[in-house]
Amino acid sequence: MNSQKPFPFIVRAIIFGLAVAFVVLMIKPDTFDRGRPVVELNTASEERFTLSDSPRTGPVSYADAVKIAAPAVINVYTTKVITEKASPLYSDPFFRYFFGEQLAPRKRLESSLGSGVIVSDKGYVLTNNHVVAGADEIQVALRDGRSAEASVVGTDPESDLAVLKIELKELPSITFSKSVDLRVGDVVLAIGNPFGVGQTVTMGIVSATGRDHLGINTFENFIQTDAAINPGNSGGALINAYGHLIGINTAIFSKSGGSQGIGFAIPVEPAINVMQQIIQSGHVSRGWLGIEVQDITPALAESFDLKNNAGAIIAGILRSGPAAQAGLRPGDIITQIDSESVRDSKDAMNIIAAKKPKSEITIEIIRQGKKIELKGNVTERPSQSKPKR
């Protein structure tokens, strides 16, 4: 009986197996790659821009937003009479006799420009206080070519806002938005009259919100944007991509006097609050305690044995003022007001100012290392400007 050698059979099986493996590897190359770790990447889903019937929307163009808001943004021109200082020789009778007219004090007109926003078809205009401060005459020019003289309803230097009134019919008015809905990165447009060249629109994004400690105003809560804002833009509109007002352009940070991508606008909520108070009473009413507060420096924190720099230290108190009547003393550290945490002196001032005069507040302080809770009544903050009606 002949026995068949197994070697040729094994060779044929190996060749057949390799051939099958080659075919499988060609069809599905990752079949034998099970041991390699798989890294999953977060990939953005496909984005499709949906345009409305008009091609001038969204990322293609913001012309529709400008069309909605621009008619309500006006140019503001102010003039003031400046009396120049008289020559020192004018006090001498001899020289005054011969050169009186030449040495006498001279008056000249000084002109400036800015922007404003029509907030009501009744003719109310919101702008910056520094645009109209000290002006003897105010003229406004609308986008439709009309012009009118404006009167000052009232001003609030501490927030740098002012309300004007013009007498024209069929006035366009801005639509308000809510800047609390703003996110860093949102597209914004600034509309104004930079350098007097005429109404101009610039685009940027929201760079930051809640900016303060800038030393621009007494009360600060700015929207920061990189939309180009230049001299003449003050008092103009900062709008969103839908053409709704989100802020009043107020200031720029610049070493050259021109735009460097850091501009600031007053958010619409505090602007509306100030505007309504001015329209109703001619001035803005804020809470006041009669205290002088300062930030807690690391050195002060160490001397008072504090764990951190949070809070505001009372540096001075008005005698017989609301704070003195509440039992506050110099050296007390305010940590909370009506359950609102106080981070620094600006926080303390803003929280107190937001309270209605004659309202009672609860103040939490640290005195000699101990926490104490006091109650007091705020009064009305002394006005920084006289009401104008």
* Number of other residues whose CB lies within 10 A of the CB of residue 196: 13
Distance CA 196, CA 192 (A): 9
As given in the structure block, the two tokens for residue 43 are 């990939």
Asked if residue 91 lies in contact with residue 105, where contact means CB atoms within 8 angstroms, the answer is no
Give the angle subtended at the CA of 316 by the CAs of 311 and 318, to the nearest 5°. Answer: 125
Distance CA 239, CA 237 (A): 6
Catalytic member of 160, 226, 332, 347: 160
Catalytic member of 115, 159, 179, 234: 234
Distance CA 175, CA 71 (A): 11
Asked if residue 62 lies in contact with residue 203, where contact means CB atoms within 8 angstroms, the answer is yes
Q: Which amino acid is at 60?
A: V
> b/e map of 250-270 (b: 16 or more CB within 10 Å)?
bbbeeeeeebeebbbbbbbbb
The answer to whether 254 is a known catalytic residue is no
The answer to whether 283 is a known catalytic residue is no
Q: Quick one: which of 42, 102, 100, 107 has its CA closest to 81? A: 107
Catalytic member of 130, 156, 177, 244: 130
The answer to whether 234 is a known catalytic residue is yes
Distance CA 245, CA 52 (A): 22
DSSP letters spanning 249-265: EEEE--SSSS--S-EEE
Contacts of 232 (CB under 8 A, 6+ apart): 113, 114, 115, 192, 193, 194, 195, 196, 197
> What residues are labeled active site?
130, 160, 234
